[in-house]
Copies of this chain bind each other. A is one copy, B any other.
Amino acid sequence: MVNSLRTDAQGREQLAKSGYRSTPQRRVVYRLLQQNVDHPTANEVFLRARQALPGISMATVYNCLEALVQCGLIRQVNLDRTASRYCANMDEHCHFCCECCGSLFDVHCASDAVRRQAQLPPGFQATRYELVIRGICATCAAERRPQREQRPEKAGAPVV
Q: How many copies does the complex hold?
A: 2
Q: Are A119 and B109 in contact (CB under 8 A)?
A: yes
Q: Check if A2 is an interface residue, CB within 8 A of chain B.
A: no
Q: Are B138 and A123 in contact (CB under 8 A)?
A: yes
Interface hits, A107-160 → B, CB 8 Å: 107-111, 113-114, 116-139, 141-142, 153-154
Known interface pairs A119-B107, A127-B99, A127-B136; A80-B78 also in contact (CB < 8 Å): yes
Contacts of A134 in B (CB 8 A): 126-130
Nearest chain B CB to A106 CB, angstrom units: 10
Q: Check if A96 is an interface residue, CB within 8 A of chain B.
A: yes
Contacts of A79 in B (CB 8 A): 78
Max count, chain B CB within 10 A of own CB: residue among A107, A139, A141 = A107
Q: Are A125 and B136 in contact (CB under 8 A)?
A: yes
Q: Are A114 and B131 in contact (CB under 8 A)?
A: yes
Knowing that A81-B81, A108-B118, A125-B135 are A-B contacts, what are 6 other residue pairs whose CB atoms are under 8 Å apart, sorted by A's residue number? Answer: A96-B124, A114-B117, A124-B138, A125-B136, A127-B136, A131-B132
- 18 CB contacts below 8 A, A to B, read A19-B153, A70-B154, A78-B80, A81-B81, A108-B119, A111-B117, A113-B114, A113-B116, A114-B131, A123-B138, A123-B141, A124-B135, A124-B136, A125-B141, A127-B134, A129-B132, A130-B132, A131-B131
